[in-house]
A = this chain, B = another copy of it.
Amino acid sequence: MSDVVPPEVRPKPVVPAKPSNVGAPSPSIPIGTHGPNLAISHAVGHGLGSTLLGYIGIDTIIEQMRKKTMKTGFDFNIMVVGHSGLGKSTLVNTLFKSHVSRKSAGWARDEKIPKTVEIKAVSHVIEEGGVKMKLTVVDTPGFGDQINNDNCWEPISKYINEQYEKFLKEEVNITRKKRIPDTRVHCCIYFISPTGHFLRQLDTEFMKRLSHSVNIIPVIAKADTMTLEERQEFKQRVRKELEVSGIEFYPQKEFDEDMEDKSDNDKIREAMPFAVVGSDKEYQVNGKRVLGRKTAWGIVEVENPNHCEFAQLRDFLIRSHLQDLKEVTHNIHYETYRAKRLNENGGLHPISSSDTQESNL
């Protein structure tokens, strides 16, 4: 007969763990005889002498997780959307300091603009500091380039959902892979044309439709075509329009987990959309080698925060929110897709044999 005490967590005032008295047992927390028992014990850290007895070592779990991550590596999938000529490939190359975009992968630089929106994904494995990242850049040539751009977001929306579907099918499989390959788009960078005036109708239409299924990060492309004042005014107008249109770009307010998150993310949201310049060419400026664009009147330094906001975008995207982008994709966007999918037509049935890839849809 099993008599299970449900392990519910009910926080109690913190009581430091008292070292046992010699010879006498000392129950450290007064607890009733029934129901779940809970105490919060503080171990005092490690060291010699009186605290030696206090160190357990549970904080080593961080190190244990780090070792596992370094062994397995992780996936990151980034999509770039915007009409041709906005510097999408260049920006991605600049972000990851390597030739990772579609164009750099050897595909003809002067290939024609396709007649419909195409989806082209290119993968690279980037290793840094012992950590391996499999980066997939998904390009969308043809978007916004036609005379009639009706529904040009559909192939993109379809691709995003196809990745969720792929993951879902693996997840409901009876015999699952230990690590389901993750091709879901973690981040979609939307390039806004630096017209200096307003968002285009296509911009708002796309972002409105897709912000509910993927993390959208709008950027103002080719920021060096505007002066600093023009840039600031344009940014304000764009932000106003995004707000009025109800477009929730990443980091979305509703997913802030706590006050610390909210405070950090508020600062970022206020600075967005970042006005960026990309470049894969190096120049010497004041004895330093910088990535930049050389003009007759000076060199635009990509990583100089006075020149453009590329460094801010990079720090935000890679150095502080990389993991969060994946988590929001998995916990929110994917779950939304999954719930919708399982609710329709009686849902998705687990595949009963690993041979037949048919499933009841």
A-side residues, CB < 8 A to B, are 1-9, 11, 17, 19-23, 25-33, 36-43, 45, 49-50, 52-62, 64-66, 68-71, 74, 77, 95-100, 104-109, 116-131, 133-134, 136, 155, 158-159, 162, 174-176, 178, 183, 257-258, 280-283, 288-291, 314-315, 318-324, 327, 331, 335, 338-339, 342-343, 347, 349-350, 352
Shortest CB-to-CB span from A185 to chain B, Å, is 12
Flag if B133 contacts A58 (CB, 8 Å): yes
Expressed in whole angstroms, the Cα–Cα distance for A74 and B128 within the complex equals: 28
Which B-chain residue is minimally distant from A127 (CB atoms)? B42
> Known: A53-B97, A58-B322, A65-B69. Is A19-B124 also a contact (CB below 8 A)?
no
Expressed in whole angstroms, the Cα–Cα distance for A123 and B6 within the complex equals: 9
Please give, as numbers and ranges, the residues of chain B lying within 8 Å of A104 by CB-CB distance: 25, 27-28
Expressed in whole angstroms, the Cα–Cα distance for A122 and B3 within the complex equals: 12
Flag if B45 contacts A128 (CB, 8 Å): yes
Please give, as numbers and ranges, the residues of chain B lying within 8 Å of A339 by CB-CB distance: 174-175
Please give, as numbers and ranges, the residues of chain B lying within 8 Å of A136 by CB-CB distance: 7
Shortest CB-to-CB span from A258 to chain B, Å, is 8
Flag if B155 contacts A1 (CB, 8 Å): yes
Expressed in whole angstroms, the Cα–Cα distance for A104 and B349 within the complex equals: 47
In the complex, the count of this chain's copies comes to 2
Flag if A2 contacts B158 (CB, 8 Å): yes
Shortest CB-to-CB span from A118 to chain B, Å, is 5
Flag if A116 contacts B1 (CB, 8 Å): yes
Shortest CB-to-CB span from A351 to chain B, Å, is 9
Flag if B343 contacts A174 (CB, 8 Å): yes
> Known: A71-B257, A124-B40, A280-B25. Is A134-B7 also a contact (CB below 8 A)?
yes
Expressed in whole angstroms, the Cα–Cα distance for A45 and B280 within the complex equals: 18
Flag if B323 contacts A183 (CB, 8 Å): no
Expressed in whole angstroms, the Cα–Cα distance for A199 and B13 within the complex equals: 45
Please give, as numbers and ranges, the residues of chain B lying within 8 Å of A31 by CB-CB distance: 105-106
Flag if A53 contacts B289 (CB, 8 Å): yes
10 pairs of residues in contact across A and B, judged by CB atoms under 8 Å: A7-B134, A9-B134, A27-B105, A37-B123, A39-B124, A56-B128, A61-B69, A62-B66, A174-B338, A174-B347
Expressed in whole angstroms, the Cα–Cα distance for A49 and B25 within the complex equals: 62
Expressed in whole angstroms, the Cα–Cα distance for A318 and B60 within the complex equals: 8
Flag if B350 contacts A350 (CB, 8 Å): no
Flag if A20 contacts B281 (CB, 8 Å): yes
Please give, as numbers and ranges, the residues of chain B lying within 8 Å of A52 by CB-CB distance: 288-289
Flag if A2 contacts B119 (CB, 8 Å): yes
> Known: A289-B52, A319-B60, A322-B61. Is A37-B105 also a contact (CB below 8 A)?
yes
Shortest CB-to-CB span from A264 to chain B, Å, is 11
Kindly name the residue among A98, A107, A119, A155 whose own CB sees the greatest number of chain B CB atoms within 10 A: A98
A29-B99, A37-B123, A58-B133 known; 15 new pairs, CB 8 Å cut-off, are A1-B116, A2-B159, A4-B159, A9-B123, A22-B283, A25-B104, A37-B105, A38-B125, A42-B127, A45-B128, A59-B130, A61-B323, A64-B320, A64-B322, A174-B347
Which B-chain residue is minimally distant from A330 (CB atoms)? B178
Shortest CB-to-CB span from A8 to chain B, Å, is 7
Flag if A23 contacts B58 (CB, 8 Å): no
Shortest CB-to-CB span from A159 to chain B, Å, is 5
